Amino acid sequence: MLAQQADRVMALGEWEERWQEDRIGFHQPHVHKMLENHIDKVLAGRTGVRFFFPLCGKAVDMKWLADMGHSVVGVEISEKAIKQFFEDNNMTYSEEPVPALPGAKVFKGSERNISLYQSDLYNFSSTIGGHFGAIWDRGSLVAINPRDREKYAALIISLMAKDCRYLLDTMLYNPELYEGPPFLVPDDQVNSLFGKSCDVELLESFDSLTDRQRGWGLDYLDERVHLITPKSI
pLDDT digits (tens, 9 = 90+) for 132-170: 999 999 999 999 999 999 999 999 999 999 999 999 999
Here the CATH number for the domain that contains residue 139 is 3.40.50.150
Domains held by the chain: number: 1
pLDDT digits (tens, 9 = 90+) for 202-219: 999 999 999 988 998 999
- pLDDT for res 9: 67
Handedness of CA 128, 134, 136, 142 (dihedral sign): positive
Domain that holds residue 32: 3-230
Q: Which amino acid is at 140?
A: S
Is the previous residue joined to 181 through a cis bond, with omega within 30 degrees of 0? yes
pLDDT surpasses 70 at 76 = yes
Helix (H) or strand (E) holding 201: strand 198-207
